[in-house]
């Protein structure tokens, strides 16, 4: 337990990375496989070379920087996250997980520690999904959820394929996707929510990720004049949407556990005008819960409320489920290693579920996995004001380092 990470060195690395692709208000703009993302990757490679790490890149651009172990024949333990950001993202989301992994390896180097298993510092491509949809596509390809060819063929808004972007930036690697096989994987991340900060806790020991389901909803009624059309003759698509949204909000707010989450993130009115009764409305719905059975019940409730709202307002209502991510439980042994590290250092921590998706979700399908959370100011993320303090980052990196050593020496 004597291997203390260097708080200042970690912070300096975070701030140096933030100088690449800075956004106007102090955040970061490094979309996946742009020149900025490539420059961030090259800086990491440079830092890795100073430690003697061996770089390999797979066919979808995932980077693996290897630190040899005493038993190089054993499968490695991976640590890492992503370097790409949202268009106006923060300086910590993803980046902290990569640079805290680097700091852990630097710390082991400082103390001459060689673990039994080799270690792999991992950068997953296009985690954010803001340039190439969906999010986490490269870690999903590593886990066998998406085919390599389909991933390489995904296109951005300008028609550039992910494969073309890999070639343009020089990260079209040759290693087979799915290699190296990991004996374990740890990912440090800012919480992206307010729980740790509000409870004055330093560490979140992440035991899993809540289930998520996305729907596209269309309501079709009849456009008509706002003046001459009596209320009882209207077929108001927006009123039906509002009824459905309101009922689902009330249902979620009535859950004493707070585990039911309902979000209407987009709403489009066809040919919107202030004196026209809306005839067609399209909206997106995001349903989340920590229990798969409860998520099934929430989906059924949504379908009931949608049908009832359609009937009440004389509107045709249709929904299509476009994505589902099941509830994920992380590996008990990896979770225990994280909890043990926080306990041994005397840090205030809680076991918790992640509300957001991360690369660790897909990696957990093929390797024992766990995550470490640290607080972020006001729970804000995917925003230029996203912030965690040097001390908070260092505490997270310390737990990551200790758990990494524990897993690599098991």
Q: What is the pLDDT along the chain (410 residues), one digit of tens a residue?
A: 568 999 999 999 999 999 999 999 999 999 999 999 999 999 999 999 999 999 999 999 999 999 999 999 999 999 999 999 999 999 999 999 999 999 999 999 999 999 999 999 999 999 999 999 889 999 999 999 999 999 999 999 999 999 999 999 999 999 999 999 999 999 999 999 999 999 999 999 999 999 999 999 999 999 999 999 999 999 999 999 999 999 999 999 999 999 999 999 999 999 999 999 999 999 999 999 999 999 999 999 999 999 999 999 999 999 999 888 899 999 999 999 999 999 999 999 999 999 888 999 999 999 999 999 999 999 999 999 999 999 999 999 999 999 999 999 99
Domain finish residue from 304, 324, 344:
324
Same domain for 140 and 182, yes or no, is: yes
Question: Residue 296: which CATH number?
Answer: 3.30.70.360
Residues 164 and 92: their CA atoms lie apart, in Å, by 28
Same domain for 216 and 299, yes or no, is: yes
Same domain for 37 and 93, yes or no, is: yes
Same domain for 186 and 230, yes or no, is: no
Same domain for 50 and 177, yes or no, is: yes
Same domain for 319 and 377, yes or no, is: no
Domain finish residue from 258, 291, 324:
324
Q: 289: domain range?
A: 211-324
C-alpha 316 chain-centroid distance: 35
Same domain for 370 and 242, yes or no, is: no
Same domain for 109 and 75, yes or no, is: yes
Domain finish residue from 285, 304, 324:
324
* Residue closest to 117 by CA, chosen among 163, 208, 190, 180: 180
Hey, how many other C-beta atoms are within 10 angstroms of the C-beta on 54?
13
Is 1 within a domain?
no
Rounded to two decimals, what is the model's pTM?
0.90
Same domain for 192 and 239, yes or no, is: no
Q: What is the pLDDT of residue 2?
A: 64
Same domain for 266 and 399, yes or no, is: no
Hey, how many other C-beta atoms are within 10 angstroms of the C-beta on 273?
10
Same domain for 147 and 24, yes or no, is: yes
Residues 339 and 32: their CA atoms lie apart, in Å, by 32
Q: What is the pLDDT of residue 3?
A: 87
Is 243 within a domain?
yes
Is 228 within a domain?
yes
Same domain for 319 and 205, yes or no, is: no
Q: What is the pLDDT of residue 389?
A: 98
Question: Residue 77: which CATH number?
Answer: 3.40.630.10
CA distances to 69, 110, 111 from 2, rounded to whole Å, are: 19, 11, 9
Beta partners for residue 216, in sequence order = 284, 320
Q: What is the pLDDT of residue 325?
A: 87
Residues 105 and 113: their CA atoms lie apart, in Å, by 9
| Number of domains composing the chain | 2
Is 2 within a domain?
no
């Amino acid at each position: 337990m004597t291997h203390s990470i260097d708080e200042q060195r970690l912070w300096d690395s975070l701030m140096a990375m933030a100088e690449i692709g800075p956004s106007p208000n102090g955040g970061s703009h490094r979309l996946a496989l742009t020149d900025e993302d490539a420059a961030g990757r090259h800086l990491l490679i440079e830092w890795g070379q100073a430690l003697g790490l061996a770089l390999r890149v797979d066919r979808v651009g995932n980077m693996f920087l290897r630190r040899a172990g005493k038993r190089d024949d054993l499968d490695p333990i991976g640590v890492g996250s992503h370097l790409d950001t949202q268009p106006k993202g923060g300086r910590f989301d993803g980046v902290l997980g990569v640079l805290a992994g680097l700091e852990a390896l630097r710390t082991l180097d400082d103390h001459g520690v060689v673990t039994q298993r080799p270690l792999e510092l991992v950068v997953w491509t296009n985690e954010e999904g803001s340039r190439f949809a969906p999010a986490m596509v490269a870690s999903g390809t590593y886990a066998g959820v998406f085919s390599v060819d389909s991933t390489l063929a995904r296109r951005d808004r300008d028609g550039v394929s992910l494969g073309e972007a890999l070639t343009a930036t020089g990260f079209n690697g040759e290693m087979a996707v799915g290699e190296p096989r990991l004996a374990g994987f740890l990912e440090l991340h800012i919480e992206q929510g307010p729980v740790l900060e509000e409870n004055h806790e330093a560490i979140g020991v992440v035991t899993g990720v809540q289930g998520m389901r996305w729907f596209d909803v269309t309501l079709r009624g009849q456009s008509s004049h706002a003046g001459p059309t009596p209320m009882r003759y209207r077929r108001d698509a927006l009123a039906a949407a509002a009824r459905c949204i309101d009922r689902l909000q009330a249902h979620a707010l009535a859950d004493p556990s707070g585990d039911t989450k309902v979000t209407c993130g987009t709403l489009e009115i066809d040919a919107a005008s202030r004196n026209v009764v809306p005839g067609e409305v399209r909206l997106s719905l995001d349903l989340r819960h920590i229990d798969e059975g409860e998520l099934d019940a929430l989906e059924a409730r949504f379908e009931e409320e949608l049908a009832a709202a359609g009937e009440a307002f004389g509107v045709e209502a249709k929904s299509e489920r476009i994505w589902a991510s099941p509830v994920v439980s992380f590996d008990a042994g990896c979770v225990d290693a994280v909890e043990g590290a926080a306990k041994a250092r005397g840090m205030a921590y809680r076991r918790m579920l992640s509300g957001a998706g991360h690369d660790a979700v897909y990696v957990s399908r093929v390797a024992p996995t766990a995550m470490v959370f640290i607080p972020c100011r006001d729970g804000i993320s995917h925003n230029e004001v996203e912030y965690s303090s040097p001390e908070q980052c260092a505490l997270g990196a310390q737990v990551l380092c200790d758990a990494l050593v524990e897993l690599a020496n098991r």
